[in-house]
């Protein structure tokens, strides 16, 4: 079979130093449905963005239909016949289907006017040609998401896409809509199109893909025929074959459960059930690791635990006291601190000084202010102590946070959170995007906190980190606990993988500590 | 009460409403079209002022109504272009840049006025021209209706045409489609190769185009001279009218009508016990109330969906 | 040298913008004046040359400082409330109504009138505050609309209930002497309002940078999510900063009535609210910078008036220059290419922190 797309040795490094694609090579055959799987951060979306021209690679070559191409913008990609359906649909909500279809390529009447009739005709034409029903004159905002996606697909087809890239298309669809989509894709394949399909839903991949490329850590691990692999195989490849045995020493003393979650559920603004009756405990002196592919509810769970979001149902107690409905400040005062997953968005205010960042959770407490008055001398002193203790590389306490490197910024966040002497620490992706030295330090600090009797809840997409630090591990999938591992020393990433990807599931499992 | 009611329901009042409404309608169309593209032209006040001035100046020195019109429109478009340059290229905050531009317009018009005429108050020493009134044959003879509709300045009829033009541009041209797309989802526009900034620039320039007519009418129709700061806040009122009207042609028209009616009413109400000031503030108060209701609704809608979903049990699971 | 440039980049940018403004003003003067040298001198030096003009500088700066401080407090929390003008007008109107209808010794009357004006303004600006905090309604649009409502209400109040029919114009009754702000420099109209303005500048500085409430306001402005994350009640912050805005603006407007005019005579809105926005921008919302910025604005205004009086160049030139300066200052990308190049060079030399 002819190769319609070939990428060779693609290298992509982002401005912040993160390597997203490392010597990535992929070959997609004509007339196939080719799945690209990998965890978040594996590099698959970046690769597609490069192919579609949204990002530029530093190195590597791309061949389309045998010829070398330079794709510098989506326009270039569209011109040569590549179309992309993004995860967040690129449609104008208040325009009709037909209007969205012809946007940028509008049919004209008398050279000046929009030919709306023709736009409608074109829509129906394309719709019939590919067997995708869409109502041309309805506004996007009035359509269910499955139909909207169909419009996106038609948009690409209208622009003569021969290669169609779909980025996690089923993440927003109901099971029924997914069925319809798959029928459509199979149809398109029959009509001669080639489809690249990014996903981490392995059952779907097995259902529909001819070939599978597995990516991990910015590299392509393998490309094989889908028929050769079971979901289990794919899961293991995605998550890692190397067995990392790095573990911190087991906890010395395990106390009672400090943080208790029972039957926690959360329905979001789009009426999707994001968390479904989760229950778990975190004991004093342990680190409970939460493993899972990003997007399965971890973000919402963390925000609910820290009071930034209200759950729909359930109980959360800290030493028996209810936390639900309390303000984030009250929750902090009760002894819970939060290392946020996005330090720049939530953890720091980069346009101001270290001092002002350090006092976020304590500026109103005695020692830092007297009544309304801020005690800057004491605050500066305190800041100096924190900088020293946590080894933060900064010129002075009055340095702006924006002048610090990523690792140092994270140290600022960790310094602030841990120095509040909490009983419970919620750490979300605490070492994301920082240098090795800082990562080591953060791990060490968490371990020390654990040994001092703190209860630590660690949510991370980095399985090595989870395995290294956790006492127990629970796996989250689709807002539910899919597995509970009580003994970390015996498991590997490969064991976690299938649960993370929904391939396997323990029955009636929770993260509760048995009596 | 009777004489008042009589005056209000009189044909003269109807005529007055349309007269007062003219500059407002042009300006609010300008604001609306810029808003549809996702920016907002807050310097409409300055735009109208500059156009008013340029029109008077050019008509006095060239004795040509056409040239004055073209020059005035060019000035308005230029204001839109300057705003877009500072906001889109130089990344100035649009509110601050617009306020600065308004100030600039106020200053430069009087400055140049002084240079041209030696007078800082008005241009009455200049022989500037007027756009003609139009007395429509046949219609003008119809009782009541004729008085209301016929005899307006040509610009007033132009304003009605402008609303239609606004509708056509927005809904029937590719530019209008792109403007709306850019305003609703800039990413969507970009993904099909549309230059978002360039489209917004066009929207701002169109905005200046429409606003210019409003300004030209003020100095060459409503009255026949330019006076300092003669826009008297109409540019700001235009923002209120556009907001109240939801930035759509029909809404903008009705909102401008409301403001126009209230302005005209104010004069009549002086004869009654109700002070004109209290009448005058109604449209603004109405805008605040409308804005509040709209925002509160948007908030409630989101919460309601979740509650409904849970009750009816139609919760979709993420597969 | 380059390090210095980077560190004070913003300040330098402001100075350059002002410099360009002055250059343009020189250019305009040369273009339009028969005696450009004389005109230029009148403009640039005029404000300092006579006692009355120098006094005028202080008189003009006073209400501008108040409004600048008012706007700055809201801007520090990234709330774009432009309702200083409305709060100022209505507050001064209500304050005048109170002053004119009551009788008490000066040491009570003066502070009470100021307080009432301030509270009126505060209540007025509370409206856009709560609409934003509760329903996310744009404070820009609501405060702008409410400016008009305030103007009409104030005008109604004065013209229909407190109008002095004996005076030639549409003005309020004269304020009783017990409600006057005394002028303390003979032969000038400089009144205690300017002292109050400077005192408030220090107070607002202290408030923003040395109190817990000020920290909450600024943190919300730096990063709202960060503030929420730390437990700060952003709801309260949004309302508080706008209430303060209303108070300061109205207070300032009232000092103007009590010190200069001794009557409410504004048939049209005086415009200090807009001036406040200008100096808040030039002074980057920092209270201590707003004072010199206000004096600078006052200097340009007085200079313009002298120019107008003494030469053939109209005062409006000042507005033109002002607006160009503001445009340049708000253009974040202005000179950014230059800054970028220096930053890169510094990084290459390994000089950056």
Q: Render A31-63 in DSSP notation, one character per residue.
A: T-EEEEE--TTSSHHHHHHHHHTSS--SEEEEE
Determine the residue of chain A that is closest to C231 in CA distance.
A329
Residue C42: which of C23, C18, C25, C64 has the closest Cα? C25
Of A340, A349, A374, the CB nearest to C219: A349
> Residue B317: pLDDT above 50?
no
B199 to chain A, closest Cα gap in Å: 12
Distance of CA A357 to the CA centre of its chain: 26
Residue in C225, C230, C353 nearest the CB of A395: C353
Q: Cα C255 from chain centroid?
A: 14
- Check residues B248 and C45 and name the one with the higher pLDDT: B248
Cβ-nearest to C231 among A328, A374, A403: A328
pLDDT at site A503? 82
pLDDT of residue A464: 86
pLDDT of the residue at C352 = 42
Give the integer Cα–Cα distance in Å for B20 and B22: 6
Residue B236 per-residue DSSP state: H
- Number of B/C CB contacts below 8 angstroms equals 149
Nearest by CB to B107, from C140, C323, C332: name it.
Answer: C323
Q: Do C239 and C133 meet the contact criterion of CB atoms below 8 Å apart?
A: yes
Q: How far does B304 lie from chain A, in Å, by closest CA?
A: 9
pLDDT of residue C46: 83
Whether B319 sits inside 8 A of A272 (CB atoms) is no
Q: Is C297 helix (H, G, I), strand (E, B) or coil?
A: helix
The per-residue pLDDT for range B75-85, each reduced to its tens digit, is: 999 999 999 99
> Does the beta carbon of B107 lie under 8 angstroms from any beta carbon of chain C?
yes
- CB-CB under 8 Å, C225 with A373: no
Model confidence pLDDT, tens digit, residues C107-126: 899 999 999 999 999 999 99
- pLDDT at residue B291 tops 70: yes
Among residues B104, A60, B256, A336, the alpha carbon closest in space to that of C316 is found at B104
Taking only the tens place, the pLDDT of each residue in C334-343 is 777 677 777 7
Taking only the tens place, the pLDDT of each residue in A100-144 is: 999 988 888 888 898 989 999 999 999 988 888 899 999 998 888
* Contact yes or no for B94/B31 (Cβ under 8 A): no
CA distance C14 to C337: 16
**Angle between helix B11-36 and helix B196-217 axes, rounded to 10 deg:** 160
Q: Alpha-carbon distance A454 to A418, whole Å?
A: 10
Q: Mutate which of B50, B53, B88, B92 to disrupt the C interface (most C C-beta within 10 Å)?
A: B92
User: Nearest-CA distance from C135 to chain A in Å?
Assistant: 16
Instruction: Give the H or E element holding residue A29.
Output: strand A19-29
| Percentage of chain A modeled with pLDDT above 70 | 98
* Interatomic CA distance for residues A219 and A232, integer angstroms: 20
Distance from CA of C350 to the nearest CA of B (A): 29
Residue B317 touches chain A, beta carbons under 8 Å: yes
In sequence order, which residues have a C-beta less than 8 Å from that of residue B313 and are 6 or more positions away? none
The predicted pLDDT at position A407 comes to 86
Weakest mean pLDDT among A284-288, B55-59, B240-244, C87-91: B240-244
**A149: closest CA of chain B, how far (Å):** 13
**Residue B308 half-sphere exposure toward CB, CA atoms < 13 A:** 9
Copy the structure tokens of residue A31. Answer: 């007339």
* Most B-contacting residue of A99, A103, A160, A296 (CB-CB within 10 A), to test interface: A103
**A379 has a pLDDT exceeding 80:** yes
Q: Which chains touch C (3 or more CB pairs under 8 A)?
A: A, B
> What distance in Å separates the CA atoms of residue C146 and residue C143, rounded to the nearest whole number?
5
CA dist A328 and A254 (Å) reads 27
pLDDT at A251: 85
Chain B positions in Cβ-Cβ contact with residue C136 (cut-off 8 Å): 295, 298-299
CA distance B162 to B155: 10
| Max mean pLDDT range (A138-142, B36-40, B205-209, B310-314) | B205-209
Our CA-based measurement puts residue A117 at a distance from the nearest CA of chain B, in whole angstroms, of 11
Instruction: Tell me the per-residue pLDDT of C239-261, one tens digit each, with 9 for 90 and over.
Output: 999 999 999 999 999 999 999 99
Of B177, B178, B302, the CB nearest to A269: B302
Q: Does A43 touch chain C (CB under 8 A)?
A: no
Chain A residues within an 8 Å CB radius of C232:
329, 360
* Tokens representing residue B189 in the block: 């526009």
Residue B111 has its nearest CB partner, among C148, C314, C322, at: C314
Q: Is C211 left (phi over 0), alpha (psi -120 to 50) or beta?
A: beta
C228 touches chain A (CB under 8 A): yes
Q: What pTM does this model have?
A: 0.84
Name the residue in chain A with its Cα closest to that of B174: A114
Chains in contact with B via at least 3 Cβ–Cβ pairs below 8 Å: A, C
Q: Are A104 and B319 an interchain contact pair (Cβ–Cβ within 8 Å)?
A: no
Q: Which residues, 6+ apart, have CB-to-CB distance to A415 below 8 Å?
A: A358, A386, A387, A389, A390, A392
Q: Is B31 on the interface with A (CB under 8 A)?
A: no
Chain B contact set for C159 (CB, 8 A): 275, 277
Looking at residues C23-36, what average pLDDT do you find? Answer: 84
CB contact under 8 A, B107 and C274: no
Cα separation of the two ends of chain A? 60
């Amino acid at each position: 079979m002819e190769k319609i797309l070939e990428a060779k040795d693609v290298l992509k490094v982002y401005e912040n130093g993160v390597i997203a694609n490392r010597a990535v090579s992929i070959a997609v055959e004509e007339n196939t449905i080719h799945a690209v799987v990998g965890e978040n951060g594996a590099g698959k979306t970046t690769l597609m963005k490069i192919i579609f021209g949204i990002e530029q690679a530093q190195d590597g070559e791309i061949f389309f239909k045998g010829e070398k191409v330079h794709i510098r913008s989506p326009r270039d990609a569209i011109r040569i016949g590549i179309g992309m359906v993004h995860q967040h649909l690129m449609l104008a909500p208040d325009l009709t289907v037909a209007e969205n279809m012809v946007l940028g390529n509008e049919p004209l009447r008398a050279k000046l006017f929009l030919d709306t009739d023709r736009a409608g005709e074109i829509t129906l034409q394309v719709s019939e040609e590919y067997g995708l029903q869409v109502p041309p004159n309805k506004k996007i905002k009035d359509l269910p998401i499955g139909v909207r996606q169909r419009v996106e697909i038609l948009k690409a087809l209208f622009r003569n896409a021969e290669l169609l890239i779909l980025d996690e298309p089923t993440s927003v669809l109901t099971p029924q809509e997914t069925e319809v989509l798959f029928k459509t894709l199979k149809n398109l394949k029959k009509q001669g199109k080639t489809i690249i399909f990014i996903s981490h839903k392995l059952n779907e991949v097995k259902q529909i893909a001819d070939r599978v490329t597995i990516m991990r850590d910015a590299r392509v691990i393998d490309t094989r025929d889908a028929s050769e692999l079971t979901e289990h195989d794919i899961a293991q490849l995605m998550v890692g074959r190397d067995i990392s045995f790095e573990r911190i020493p087991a906890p010395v003393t395990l106390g009672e459960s400090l943080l208790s979650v029972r039957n926690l559920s959360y329905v979001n603004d789009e009426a999707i059930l994001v968390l479904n009756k989760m229950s778990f405990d975190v004991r004093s002196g342990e680190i409970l690791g939460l493993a899972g592919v990003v997007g399965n509810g971890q973000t919402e769970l963390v925000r609910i635990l820290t009071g930034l979001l209200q759950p729909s149902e359930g109980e959360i107690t800290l030493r028996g006291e209810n936390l639900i409905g309390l303000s984030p400040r009250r929750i902090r005062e009760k002894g819970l601190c939060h290392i946020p997953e996005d330090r720049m968005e939530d953890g720091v205010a980069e346009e101001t000084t270290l001092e002002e960042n350090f006092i976020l959770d304590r500026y109103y407490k005695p020692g830092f202010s007297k009544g309304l008055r801020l005690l800057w001398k004491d605050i500066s002193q305190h800041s100096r102590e924190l900088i020293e203790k946590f080894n933060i590389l900064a010129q002075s306490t009055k340095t702006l946070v924006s002048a610090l490197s990523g690792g140092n910024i994270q140290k600022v966040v960790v310094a602030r959170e841990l120095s509040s002497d909490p009983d419970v620490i919620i750490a979300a992706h605490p070492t994301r995007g920082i240098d090795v030295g800082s990562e080591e330090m953060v791990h060490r600090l968490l371990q020390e906190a654990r040994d001092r009797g703190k209860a630590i809840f660690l949510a991370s997409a980095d399985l090595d980190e989870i395995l290294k630090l956790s006492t127990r591990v629970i796996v989250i999938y689709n807002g539910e606990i899919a597995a509970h591992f009580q003994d970390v020393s015996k498991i590997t990433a490969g064991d976690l993988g299938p649960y993370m990807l929904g391939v396997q599931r323990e029955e009636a499992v929770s993260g509760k500590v048995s009596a | 009460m009777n004489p008042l009611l009589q005056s209000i329901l009189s044909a003269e009042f109807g005529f007055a409403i349309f007269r007062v409404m003219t500059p407002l309608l042009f300006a609010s169309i300008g604001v609306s079209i810029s808003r549809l593209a996702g920016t907002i032209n807050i310097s409409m006040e300055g735009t109208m002022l500059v156009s008013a001035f340029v029109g008077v100046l050019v008509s006095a020195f060239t004795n040509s109504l056409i040239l004055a019109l073209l020059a005035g429109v060019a000035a308005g478009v230029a204001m839109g272009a300057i705003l877009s340059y500072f906001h889109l290229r130089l990344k100035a905050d649009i509110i601050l840049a617009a306020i600065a531009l308004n100030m600039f317009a106020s200053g430069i018009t009087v400055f140049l006025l002084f240079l041209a005429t030696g007078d800082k108050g008005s241009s009455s020493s200049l022989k500037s021209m007027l756009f003609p009134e139009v007395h429509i044959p046949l219609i003008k003879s119809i009782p009541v209706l004729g008085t209301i509709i016929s005899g307006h300045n040509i610009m007033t009829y132009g304003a009605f045409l402008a609303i239609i033009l606004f509708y056509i541009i927005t809904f029937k041209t590719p530019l209008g489609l792109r403007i709306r797309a850019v305003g609703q989802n800039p990413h969507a526009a970009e993904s099909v190769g549309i230059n978002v900034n360039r489209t917004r620039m066009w929207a701002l320039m169109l905005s200046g185009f429409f606003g210019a007519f409003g300004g030209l009418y003020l100095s060459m129709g409503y009255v026949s001279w330019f006076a300092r700061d003669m826009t008297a806040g109409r540019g700001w009122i235009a923002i209120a009218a556009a907001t109240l009207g939801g930035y759509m042609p029909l809404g903008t028209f009705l909102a401008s009508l409301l403001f126009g009616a209230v302005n005209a009413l104010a004069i009549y109400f002086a004869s009654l016990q109700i002070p004109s000031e209290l009448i005058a503030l109604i449209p603004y108060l109405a805008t605040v109330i409308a804005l509040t209701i709209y925002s509160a609704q948007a908030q409630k809608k989101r919460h309601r969906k979740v509650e409904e979903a849970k009750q009816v049990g139609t919760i979709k699971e993420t597969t | 040298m380059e390090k210095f440039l980077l560190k004070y980049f913003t300040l330098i940018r402001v100075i350059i913008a002002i410099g360009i403004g002055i250059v343009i003003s020189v250019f305009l003067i040369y273009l339009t004046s028969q005696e450009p040298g004389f005109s230029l001198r009148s403009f640039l030096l005029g404000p300092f040359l006579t006692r009355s003009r120098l006094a005028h500088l202080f008189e003009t700066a006073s209400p501008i400082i108040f409004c600048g401080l008012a706007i700055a407090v809201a801007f520090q929390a990234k709330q774009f409330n432009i309702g200083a003008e409305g709060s100022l007008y209505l507050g001064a109107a209500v304050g005048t109504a109170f002053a004119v209808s009551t009788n008490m010794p000066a040491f009570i009357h003066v502070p009470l009138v100021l307080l009432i004006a301030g509270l009126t303004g505060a209540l007025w600006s509370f409206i856009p505050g709560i609409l934003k905090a509760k329903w996310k309604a744009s404070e820009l649009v609501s405060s702008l609309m409410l400016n008009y409502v305030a103007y009409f209400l104030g005008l109604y109040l004065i013209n229909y209930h407190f109008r002095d029919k004996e005076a030639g114009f549409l003005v309020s009754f004269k304020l009783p002497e017990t409600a006057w702000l005394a002028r303390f420099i003979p032969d000038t109209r400089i009144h205690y309002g300017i002292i109050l303005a400077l005192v408030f500048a220090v107070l607002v500085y202290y408030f923003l940078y040395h109190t817990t409430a000020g920290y909450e306001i600024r943190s919300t402005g730096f990063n709202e999510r960060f503030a929420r994350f730390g437990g700060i009640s952003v709801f309260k912050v949004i309302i508080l900063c706008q209430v303060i805005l209303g108070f300061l603006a109205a207070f300032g407007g009232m000092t103007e009535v009590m010190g200069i005019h001794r009557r409410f005579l504004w048939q049209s809105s005086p415009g200090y609210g807009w001036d406040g926005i200008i100096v808040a921008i030039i002074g980057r919302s920092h209270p201590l910078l707003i004072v010199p910025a206000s004096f600078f604005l006052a200097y340009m205004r007085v200079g313009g008036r002298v120019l107008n009086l003494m030469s053939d160049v109209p005062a409006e030139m000042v507005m033109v220059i002002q607006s160009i300066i503001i445009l340049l200052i708000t253009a974040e990308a202005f000179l950014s290419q230059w800054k970028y190049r220096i930053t890169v060079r510094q990084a290459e030399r390994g000089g950056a922190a």
